A and B are shown apart, each in its own frame.
Chain A
C-alpha cells in the first residue's frame, strides 16, 4: 500500500534533522540572528541589488546551512558580494538579520580558509591591520597595499584619480594615530582571547 503524503512527511522526519551548522552560524552572529526562522520565501534574493553576481541567493545559502552543507556554504561567494544595504533585512517577513549572518559566514570562511578568491578577505584583513595599528582607517595605505597585491594594473589606471584626490586634500599620505593606542590594543587583545574561547 502506498503512503499518504502525510505519512511521507512523517517517514522523512523519522530521523533527527542535523541543525548543527545552522545553530553554529546563528550563535556566532551578533544579536539574535533569527536564522532558524527563515521560511524560504525568497524576499531576500528578490530584494538584493547585487544578486546577479552571487553564486547563491541568500535563500539558497540558508537552505544549504539547514542541510549541513558546510563546505559549499563557506565556499560560496555570496557573503562577499553582499553590499550591506539591508534591503533584504527590512523586507524579510521573519526579521532574520541577514546582513549580520553574511558577516558571520565571512568570518568562518576566513578562519577555515574556504574561499576561491582571496581579494575580498585580504581587503578586510588589510583594513583591520591598519585599524589595529593606528586606531583609525588609513585609506592611502590600504589602497596601495591592496592594489599592489591584487591589481597592480588597476593601480596604474586609477593613479590619476588618486593624485586628484591628493591634490584636493582628500587623501592623506600619512596615517592618523590615536593617543590611546595601548588602551585600544589591550581591549582588542582581551576581545580576541574571548573570541577564541567562544568558538
Chain B
C-alpha cells in the first residue's frame, strides 16, 4: 500500500458523489491508501481568484499548509480544478517569491505556514498510471469491459497548463485512453478529448456553455461512443446534467451518458454498479452498460433517496411533478 494525502474537494461530497464512492472502492485493491486532509477548505474554483488575488492564494495555501503537516509528500486530487489550483498556487508562490511571502504572512494569522515546492501535487489519473501502473491495473481486472465503446474525455485542467511536464500532451493526452484500454474497453477516436465543457459558463453565460457541450457530445456521437468518461466533476456535471438544457436550446436529441473513469475501473475490478455510484447520473447509463451485461438495480436509485433525507424534506407534490415530467420525456423519446 502506498500512502497519499487526499484532497477531495467540495464536489466529491455533493454532485460528484459517484466519483468519491467509486474511488473509495477501487483504492484498496489498487494499493492506494488515502489520508484525507483534516478540515480542508474549498480551493476557490475559478471564482475566488477573479476577485482577490492574495486571499485566493491564501485560501488554497491553507490546504497545502495542513497537508504539509501530514508526513507524506504527495497529494492526490481527483478534481481537475482543485488539482490545478493547488498545483498553480504551489508553482506561482515559488516563481514569484513576493507572492509566497505575502501568502505566508496571511497563513501566519492562522498559525500555519507552507514552503512552496515541498509537496507533489498530483491528479488521481497520474497516480494510477505512473505510481500504480497499468500492469497492476490489468492484473486486477476480473470483468474486462469488452464491447463498450468509450469516448475518453480528459477536459482542460488536467493536461494544461502542466507546470511540471507530467502529462503526455497538452492537447492530445493519452493517459485516459491507456487506462480505458487496460480495463478492456473499446476506446473510440474522440477529437473532443481535451476540449472545454464550458466550466461555470452554464451559470453565467448558458448559451456559450451549451455550444461547448453540444460540440463535445456531437463529437462523441460521431465517434460512435456508447458512453463518455471523465476525470473531472465539473465536466461530468455539465455534460450530464446540462445535456437536457443543451438539447432544448438546439432542438437536438442527444442522449450521451457520462461517468467518472473510477466508476468504469470499479466495474472492471468486479464491484457491483450500486457500490460505484451508478444510478446517480441524470443521463441514464442503463443502455450503455447493458452492452456489457451490467444492470443498475433499483436499489442504486433508492440509495440516493436515503441520502436526500439528511436534508430538508421536499413537498410531495413537487416530487410527483418531476416523476410525471420524466415519464413524459421518456415517452417523447420513444
Residues of chain A having any CB pair with chain B under 8 Å = 28-32, 49-50, 52-53, 79-81, 83-87, 89-90, 99-100, 103-104, 106-107, 110, 119-120, 123-125, 127-128, 131, 135-137, 139, 143, 146, 154, 157-161, 163-174, 176, 178-180, 183-184, 186-192, 194-195, 198
Question: Cβ of A103 and Cβ of B50 under 8 Å apart?
Answer: yes
- From 111 to 150 in chain B, residues with beta carbon under 8 angstroms from any chain A beta carbon are 111-112
- From 293 to 316 in chain B, residues with beta carbon under 8 angstroms from any chain A beta carbon are 301, 303-308, 310-312, 314
> What total of A-B pairs shows CB separation below 8 Å?
248
Number of interface residues of B (CB under 8 A): 89
Give complex CA distance A187, B4 in Å: 26
- Check: B270 CB closer than 8 A to any chain A CB: no
Binds A, one of B24-32, B90-98, B218-226, B251-259: B90-98
Convert B99-121 into 0s and 1s, putting 1 for each residue whose CB lies closer than 8 angstroms to a CB of A.
10011011111111000000000
- Which B residues touch A89, using CB under 8 A? 160-161
A197 to chain B, nearest CB (A): 9
Question: Cβ of A171 and Cβ of B208 under 8 Å apart?
Answer: no
Convert B194-208 into 0s and 1s, putting 1 for each residue whose CB lies closer than 8 angstroms to a CB of A.
011011110111111
**In the complex with contacts A50-B208, A160-B325, A192-B52, A87-B314 CB distance below 8 A:** no
Give complex CA distance A172, B15 in Å: 8
Question: Cβ of A53 and Cβ of B208 under 8 Å apart?
Answer: yes
- Check: B35 CB closer than 8 A to any chain A CB: no
Question: Cβ of A173 and Cβ of B311 under 8 Å apart?
Answer: yes
Residues of chain B having any CB pair with chain A under 8 Å = 10-11, 13-17, 39-42, 44-55, 57-59, 62, 88, 91-92, 95-96, 99, 102-103, 105-112, 156-157, 160-162, 170-171, 195-196, 198-201, 203-208, 211-212, 215, 241, 244-245, 279-282, 301, 303-308, 310-312, 314, 318-319, 321-322, 325-326
**In the complex with contacts A80-B204, A179-B39, A107-B53 CB distance below 8 A:** yes
Give complex CA distance A56, B47 in Å: 21
Contact of A169 among B207, B307, B326 (CB under 8 A): B307
Interface centre among A28, A31, A125, A169 (most CB of B within 10 A): A169
